[in-house]
Amino acid sequence: MTMTSASYDLVAADYARLIPDAHDGRPLDAAIMRAFAELAGDPIGDLGCGTGRITQHLHELGKEAFGVDLSEGMLTQARELYPHLTFTQGDITKLDLEDDSLGGAVVWYSTVHMPAESVPWQEFHRVVEPGGYLLHAFKLGDQKRHLTHAYGHDVDLEVYWHDIDETVRNATEAGFNEVARLQRQKGVGEAGPQAFLLFCKRNPAAGQTS
């Protein structure tokens, strides 16, 4: 993950300038985020928060949200843009969070630099409370590309598209139930279709076992 962090440190300021809004011109993305915000309790962890635009949007939706990201450069931008929110450095594959401590989690394109089998579903499951919700956004498909230039800078990033059924299967095996899914065609500036999955962590105490 070192090269990923270094690349995002490099592009952070231009990323914040070029992508300032949570869902600019993408009402379907905004709709599933609103649904998640209505269902999930507090606090909400924005896992892989980048420059904090989703964390801020969750705050605007009335949620107690905080952000975690690997890149200190991205976190610097987030703290400058949204000083009223909390952002901490951390790795989403080994979160410094207590078990069952989140009412909900957002994983918004935070897994695009890892293959599907490396997505840390068990770790997401660990930190979300039983009956809590997780919203996951990702590039839809089955391919891998090496990215050498982005946001005006030379970078070194592997970018992965994930299959939606494989993603659901991996999340289900970790202990989540699928609640809803959204697939849409590519928008402006996107290379392909996008997918959004809403999950609920199974709660045996409430009879949610499958």
pLDDT one-digit tens code per residue, 152-203: 667 677 888 999 999 999 999 999 999 999 999 988 777 889 999 999 999 8
Please count the helices (runs of H) and the strands (runs of E) in the chain.
6, 9
User: What mean pLDDT is predicted for residues 10-32?
Assistant: 75
> How far, CA to CA in Å, does 141 sit from each of 9, 28, 115, 195, 203?
27, 19, 12, 9, 31
> What's the length of the chain?
210
* 32-75 tens-digit pLDDT: 999 999 999 999 999 999 999 999 999 999 999 999 999 998 89
**Which residue do the tokens 């207590």 mark?**
98
Q: Which of 3-12, 87-96, 139-148 has the lowest mean pLDDT?
A: 3-12
Give the rounded percent of residues in the chain with a pLDDT score beyond 70.
Answer: 86
Model pTM?
Answer: 0.91
Q: What is the pLDDT of residue 201?
A: 98
* Ordered alpha helix ranges (H), 2-120: 2-18, 27-39, 53-60, 72-81
